[in-house]
Structure formats: C-alpha cells, structure tokens
Amino acid sequence: MAADKIYPPSPEFVAQAHVSGMDAYQELFEEAKADPEAFWGRMAQERIDWFKPWDKVLDASNAPFYKWFTGAKTNMAYNCIDRHVKTWRKNKAAIIWEGEPGDQQILTYQELSRRVQRFANILLKLGYKTGDRAIIYMPMVPELPIAMLACARLGITHSVVFGGFSSEALKMRIQDLEAGIVITADGGYRRGRTVRLKDAVDEALVDCPSVTNVIVYRRTGEKVEMQAGRDHDWEDLITDMPETCPAVELDAEHPLYVLYTSGTTGKPKGIVHTTGGYQVQLASSMKWVFDLKDEDTYWCAADVGWVTGHSYIVYGPLLAGTTSVMYEGAPDYPEPDRFWRICAKYSVNVFYTSPTAIRAFIKFGEHFPNRHDLSSLRLLGSVGEPINPAAWEWYHKVIGHERCPIVDTWWQTETGSIMISALPGATPLKPGSATFPLPGVLADVVDMDGNSVPKGSEGYLIVRGPWPSMFRTLQGDPDRFVKTYWSQLDGCYFVGDAARRDEDGYIWVLGRVDDVMNVSGHRMSTAELESSLVRHESVAEAAVIGAPDELTGQAVIAFVTLKSTYEPSDELAATLRDWVGHEIGKFARPKQIRFSEGLPKTRSGKIMRRLLREIVTQDKVTGDVTTLEDLSVLNRLSTTSGED
C-alpha cells in the first residue's frame, strides 16, 4: 500500500494555536490519563461558572450510571449568556442568522439574553417549571435556540425534533417523553418552498394527552389551525413579558435534553444528556478542536435538530462566547453557491460541515465556490460519517485553498462532544483519518476479547471508562443502556463502529458494525424502516440494507415481499417510498424498492442481510450460504424495482 499522504500543520498555524505542536497535545493527553478527575476538575474551573462547587468530580459507585461534578450547582443558559453579558462581549454578535429567502438577524449576547429571558417568562406563566419536559419542533430560526436556552434556564428538559420528521415520529417522541408543551412554528423555508410544521403537530397531538399548551412562532405567515385554549401565538405571549428571569441553580446532573436517535431496534432511543459534565467537555472541545479565538466567526452548517446542531451550533459556540452563524435553508438555494456566499458575506473563519455536503459540492462544480472570496477561512471541519480521501482533498484545495487544516471529528449523539479529532495546530493530518483521541478520552481499537489490536489492524472502536459529556442513560430504559453499550467489555463503552489503527497509530473509523445505516450523516436503523414498511397493507415482509452510495455515503435499499393479492409495480414502489416518508420523514425514503418473492433466511428465521448486500453491491452472492434455509430464494429475488 502506498504511504499515506501527510499534511503537517503550517508553522503559522502552530504559532497561534491554543494547543501548539504535538508535544503540547501529548502533555495534555498524559495529564488527563494520569489523573482524569484532577484534569476535568481543572477544565471545569477554567471554563465554566458554578453557583456551588462540586463535592466529587466523578462518582463511579453505580457504574455505568456515572455521575460528574456531584453536588455542584450550575446552569447552561447562564454559562452561554449571562456570564458573557457581564463582560465586553455584551454587544458581540452571538448568533448571525440568515433565512433562506435572504432575511437576516444579528443577535448580540445582550439581545439574546433579553429574548431568552422573555421567552422563559412565558414558560413560567404557562405553569412550567424545573423537571418538566418540552418538545421543540421548529425550523432553523433564532427562536429555536431561544426556546432551547429558555428551557435550559428553567431546568425544563427539552427534546428537539428535527423539522424533517413526520407527525408519526413526532408523536412517538412526545409520548415517550410525556412532554407537557410543544414549541413549534407554522412552518419554515426549504428550497424556495414552505415546509408546514404546525399541521404535523396537530396530527400528532390527537394521541398526546400530556400536552396542554402549544406555542406557535409565525415564520411563513401561512394560515394554520389554532385550537382555542391550547395553542398560543408566540408574538401574543411575548408582548408583555419582562426581560428578566433568573437562571435556576440546577444540579450538575440535571437532565438538559433528550435527543432521540436510531438504534438497532424499531424504536428510537432517547439519549439523555445532563448539564455540568456536558458543559465542561463541550467547552474544552471548542477550544482544542476549533482553536477558537475571540475574533473568529464560526459556522457549523448542520441542523439544530441533530446532535451536531445541539452541541456545535447552540451550546458549544455560546459557551465559548463565539459568534455562531446559523442558516435556515438548503445549500443549493437559490444556487449551489449559497454556502460560499454566506462564508464570504460574514467573513467566516471556521467552517464545519459533513462529507455528504462536500460530495454534493464536488458534483455542483468548483466554479460555485470560485465565485466567492473565501480568504477569511482558516480552519475547516468534517463530521457525521467517514470522509473519503478524494472529498477531503477537494475540500482542502477548493475551499481551504491548501491553507486551512481540516479537522475530521468523530463522535456520536451518545458522546455529546467530539471524541476523536486532530488538533489543528498540532496533529499532522492524514486525509480520511480522524487521527487521535482528545485529551481525557481513552478511545481504543480492540478485538472481541478487548485486547488492543496491533498497528495495521482493524477492530471495534471502544472508549475505556467514562467521560464528562457522556449520555447518562436511555430515557425510560436503563436496562437497554447497560445492555447495548456497557455489557460487551468490562468497564468499556461499546461504540458500535469498526475502526482501523494504522502503522502510525492513527485511527480510521470505518462505519457501523450493527444494523444502523448512515445516510447523508443521518442515523437510521434497518429495523425502524422495516417495521414502517410492514405496516403498509401491501407488504408481507421487508428487509432493508444500506448500500454504498457516492453522494450520501449509504443509500437505503428495501427488499419487499408483497401479500399475494398485490402485484409489483412502479406505482406501488413509489407508494411505499412515500409511505416511509410519511411515517418517518422524507429523508428516510428508500432510494430503491426491490420486490422479491421471498427473503433469504437462516433456519432460525433470521433474514440474512449480508446476502442481500452482496446482491446489491456485486449482483451475485459470493459468501457462505450454508445456513440459508431455502437456496431457491436467491434465484427468486426478482429484479423488479422502482427507483427515485
């Protein structure tokens, strides 16, 4: 194999970096490894304000239900806003927002503070308090972080539901959380059209008795149903609200949010994050990975509905006191240069996006970024899926003009903050590798017995022991938390990804080892899609696999066996794709439906997805078929298919 191309950080970047040179990284890493509690205690003191200090940095007495900074009192909204308002940052831009139609709002820390406190007063007036739960289902408007921060201020645990999710997915989340309130909007803008959200809320709420109030922010101005007594206009409520509402002194372990993500079963998991430890590690990663300086303008071009947006559009940047750009719409609207137009317009210095987006930009062509002055950029980031070296090289050359380091950041909804990543002023980069764990993260690549694999080998990615921003449990299902994540290897967190450690010790994350797919950086489980398909009246059985896809990383291919009264057709394939779109969300629609008379199964009745994967990727089965119950099924896997 040819030697990997290595990009060392430039001397100029090293000279100004927070972590300057590989020795500095090693020193921090060793400090954390030698005494994690002392290390995280130091980080907590340096980076976060506390109303009351902790008794213990880490309580591992009931592992894996670890607790961090026990006894301490703090508040996320206070740390994101109030403490900055007391400094020169008061009139610094906190959020620079651009709507898809081109409208714009710049919120200073003071203005954000006023809006958050006024909205928090609405929540109080409606009777909500610490310990209650709120669902937030909004487009990418400033009112979305405002709602999150108002909840955080009062200790109301929020769950943001991505605006692309359907009413069914929304309903499941409201019910699981037994939320008392839904904060939503009439709709939002996407690719020049409006996406209606309030209709989906109305549909979901038919079966959600726990919800007694709905607050509706008017974004599009389209007419929506308002149920008297239950539904309120954001603007009507906010008018008379006072601008002060003190931050509640919350326990460090108070649940900040629950974010649902796909696991290997049909039911999404509610990932529970708490306050103190999450703040500490998030603020640390902002400094180490994004090397943020006070004069930087930072843009994470994700959606707040996913964990990347929670941690790196809202909480991380505000904790760091930075200026965070937020954009409502599609990257190719009105033209495929929108992102670069925004970078140039606001002189963005640090830009963070996904490999799927980068691959789409490659397809659109270099002339779109080349139209704009991108000279303000000094650092680029990537997240959500492995970045293929070709996309890395393009990003480096065309967007970064060979001047900007690229941080390929590996992490998960569960980990809360970035875990494996280059530090831009320290780590020599290899395109496609997330490189090394951050200080305080004992990530390793191991075999089935938990032994570290030798250099040059593949294995399972794990994390040895707890970290402050880790999720604390699964909402309503602590047993599944233990079983899924902490039972494979003693004291280790089982990630669910495969990885390779190369000859130089670099970590290369290869992809999932379970039945979770990663489509455009969105996690989806095969079981979730299959159970949606079999709920359709025509479907007897379904098996879903993720096939490699040049643009989206993986694409959803569904093998479907119809009930005998139905005939395969392109129309039915289209109906089934729309059905999944309606049940889960448009982004989950299968790329391809393949009708098949039967599905390959083992004698015990388990669907052999491996064989289906081989059929899709190689057009034939080459692997072992001795456990297959009925060989003739393979020949009967019809080629009838419908595609988008």
* CB of 200 closer than 8 Å to CB of 208: no
Binding ligand WTA (rule: CB under 6 A), the pick from 121, 166, 220, 261 is 261
Residue pair 495/421 in contact (Cβ under 8 Å)? The answer is no
Q: Give the nearer residue to ligand WTA in terms of CB position, either 261 or 349.
A: 261
Strand partners, 511: 498
Contact status: 162 vs ligand WTA (CB under 6 A): no
**CA–CA distance, 108 with 112 (Å, rounded to integer):** 6
# residues near ligand WTA by CB under 6 A: 22
Closer residue to ligand WTA in complex, CB, 121/409? 409
Find, among 571, 575, 580, 581, the residue nearest to 640 by Cα: 571
Q: Write down the least CB distance from residue 375 to ligand WTA, Å.
A: 26
Integer Cα distance of 307 and 411 in angstroms: 10
Q: Which of 335, 327, 344, 364 has the alpha carbon at shortest distance from 192? A: 335
The count of C-alpha atoms lying within 13 angstroms of the C-alpha of 377, restricted to the half-sphere facing its C-beta, is 29
Distance in Å, CB of 383 to ligand WTA, minimum = 5
- Which residue from 500, 523, 536, 589 is in contact with ligand WTA, where contact means CB under 6 A? 523
Nearer to ligand WTA, 245 or 418 (CB): 418
Residue closer to ligand WTA by CB (options 121, 413) is 413
Nearby residues of 449 by Cβ (< 8 Å), 6 or more positions away: none
In the complex, least distance from residue 556 CB atom to ligand WTA, rounded to whole angstroms: 16
Give the sign of the dihedral formed by CA 157, CA 163, CA 164, CA 169: positive
Kindly state the smallest distance separating residue 272's Cβ from ligand WTA, in Å: 14
Provide CB contacts within 8 A for 90, sequence distance 6+: 84, 108, 109, 110
Shorter beta-carbon distance to ligand WTA: residue 488 or 538: 488
**In the complex, minimum distance from the CB of residue 522 to ligand WTA, in angstroms, rounded to a whole number:** 7
CB of 121 or CB of 281, closer to ligand WTA: 281
Amino acid letter, residue 289: V
Nearer to ligand WTA, 297 or 415 (CB): 415
For residue 642, give the 3-state DSSP assignment. strand
Smallest gap from Cβ 525 to ligand WTA, in A, equals 12
Tokens of 571: 């129309």
Rounded CA separation 269/284 (Å): 27
CB of 467 to ligand WTA, least distance (A): 15
Residue 388 CB, nearest distance to ligand WTA (Å)? Answer: 10
* Nearest distance, CB of residue 636 and ligand WTA, angstroms: 34
For ligand WTA, the closer CB: 245 or 544: 544
CB of 24 to ligand WTA, least distance (A): 23
Residues of span 265-324 touching ligand WTA by CB under 6 A: 306-308
Q: Which of residues 434-493 bind ligand WTA (CB under 6 A)?
A: 434
Distance CA 436, CA 591 (A): 35
Q: What number of residues does the chain have? A: 644
Number of continuous H segments (helices) and E segments (strands) in the chain: 22, 31
191 to 42, 199, 230, 338, 438: CA distances (angstroms) = 46, 19, 31, 11, 37
Question: Which 8-state DSSP code applies to residue 320?
Answer: T
Residue (117 or 518) nearer to ligand WTA, CB: 518
- Touching ligand WTA, residues 353-412 (CB under 6 A): 383-386, 408-412
Q: Are 315 and 76 in contact (CB under 8 A)?
A: yes
Cα 141 to Cα 122: distance, rounded to the nearest angstrom: 19
Phi, psi of 615 (to 5 degrees): -60, -40
Report the relative pairing of strands 516-519 and 522-525 from DSSP bridges: antiparallel
Residue 439 Cα distances to 35, 139, 285, 288, 604, angstroms: 11, 35, 9, 9, 46
Q: For 92, which DSSP code?
A: S
Q: Which is nearer to ligand WTA, 68 or 411 (CB)?
A: 411
User: According to CB under 6 A, which one of 121, 413, 475, 484 is a site residue for ligand WTA?
Assistant: 413
Q: Residue 495 Cβ, how far from ligand WTA at the closest point, in Å?
A: 6
For the segment 490-519, give every residue that binds ligand WTA (CB under 6 A): 496-497, 509, 511-512, 518
CB burial readout 36-59, b (16+ within 10 A) else e = beebbbebbeebbebeeebeebbb
88: three-class secondary structure by DSSP: helix
Residue 344 or residue 442: which is nearer to ligand WTA going by CB? 442
Between the two ends of the chain, the Cα-to-Cα distance in Å is: 38
Task: State the residue number with the nearest CB to ligand WTA.
Answer: 413
- 83: its two tokens: 């403490």
Q: How far is the CB of 4 from ligand WTA (least distance, A)?
A: 16
Residue 389: CB minimum distance to ligand WTA, A: 13
Name which of 251 and 291 has its Cβ closer to ligand WTA.
Answer: 291
Closer by beta carbon to ligand WTA, 405 or else 496:
496
Other C-beta atoms closer than 10 Å to the C-beta of 376 total 15
Minimum CB distance to ligand WTA smaller for 162 or for 361: 162
Q: How far is the CB of 115 from ligand WTA (least distance, A)?
A: 28
Which residues are near ligand WTA by CB under 6 A? 261, 306-308, 383-386, 408-413, 434, 496-497, 509, 511-512, 518, 523
